[in-house]
Amino acid sequence: DKDIPAPPVGQKHGRWATILRDLNPGDSFLLENRDLRMNVYTAAKRLGIKVRGEMTKEGFRMWVMEKQP
């Protein structure tokens, strides 16, 4: 489970795609801004990656659930 820093606010889907490509199922990351989650969902959908988000004590965390090889 690696914890990666979220890209700066205002980054486009391409940046999220790059990050998601490097993650494996079980990995998670924290969004500094919950409103960015739609960008992550969009990028994940394009890559065929299933992600799940949830509010936690430290903020909005997203997990990679499934990834197509």
pTM of this structure? 0.73
CA 4/CA 43 separation, integer angstroms = 16
CA 59/CA 5 separation, integer angstroms = 13
| Amino acid letter for position 20 | L
Count other C-beta atoms under 10 Å from residue 9's C-beta.
Answer: 11
**CB-facing half-sphere around the CA of 56: CA atoms within 13 A:** 14
**Tens digit of each residue's pLDDT (9 = 90 or more) over 5-38:** 665 555 555 788 888 999 999 999 998 888 889 9
Q: Strands 3-4 and 49-56, how do they pair?
A: unpaired
Domains of the chain: 3-67 (3.30.110)
Query: For residues 3 and 41, which has the higher predicted lDDT (pLDDT)?
Result: 41
Q: In this prediction, what percent of the chain has a pLDDT beyond 70?
A: 81
